[in-house]
Amino acid sequence: NDEVKDGVSERGGHPVERKLMKQWSMRITAYAQRLLDGLDTLDWTDSLKETQRNWIGKSEGTSLKFKVQSQKPKEQFIEVFTTRPDTIFGVSFVTLAPEHELVAQLTTPEQKAIVEDYVTKAKNRSERERQADVNKVTGVPTGSFVEHPFTGKKIPIWVGDYVLAGYGTGAVMAVPA
């Protein structure tokens, strides 16, 4: 990220494309409680322990599955994690990360060009840029819908760069009100 400016390499000016790479990663969530409990045994300052708690990032909540409304024979679901399940009745749309595996499958032919262009632009921004730019939240509709798990109401599916594929399920339920 240090050698990339405006989507091109700093030295040669060549276009840079972000790609998902196969790699090993620690499953902090699997060990979150052990890590949190271990902080109590350390002789560290309270502020440093709090920083570590925030980095570990354990959240209490629940997962919800939204059934994709589709003509395909196989049922598909979009899973979201929420710390506020009580807001489920206020959901007005679901947003996928641009890198989410279902984006290409769920984009309708009418929306294909718009979504592909948006995904390309989003993939060339770093996660840091995407997280920091909270005043400029953007997204585009895929043209597909999910079914509200309780009311059966049709809810649109969007792609938004403020959702990160590597965080949670890579999908969020939006409750703007």
- pLDDT (tens digit per residue) in 58-89: 888 899 999 999 767 688 999 999 989 999 99
Identity at 131, one-letter amino acid code: Q
pLDDT of 167 > 70? The answer is yes
- Confirm if 94 and 171 have CB atoms less than 8 A apart: yes
pLDDT of 18 > 90? The answer is no
| Calculated CA dihedral for residues 139, 157, 62, 32, nearest 10 degrees | -40
Tokens 């040669």 found at: 12
pLDDT of 1 > 60? The answer is no
Lowest mean pLDDT among 9-18, 81-90, 96-105: 9-18
User: At 32, is the pLDDT very low, low, confident or very high (cuts 50, 70, 90)?
Assistant: confident
Higher pLDDT, 111 or 8: 111
User: At 2, is the pLDDT very low, low, confident or very high (cuts 50, 70, 90)?
Assistant: low
pLDDT of 11 > 90? The answer is no
* Burial class of 110 by CB neighbour count within 10 A (0 to 12, 13 to 18, 19+): exposed
Q: What's the CA gap between 88 and 81, in Å, rounded?
A: 11
Measured CA to CA in angstroms, residue 66 lies from 49, 69, 80, 139 at distances of 37, 9, 8, 19
- Confirm if 4 and 10 have CB atoms less than 8 A apart: yes
Q: What's the CA gap between 35 and 51, in Å, rounded?
A: 13
* Burial class of 81 by CB neighbour count within 10 A (0 to 12, 13 to 18, 19+): middle
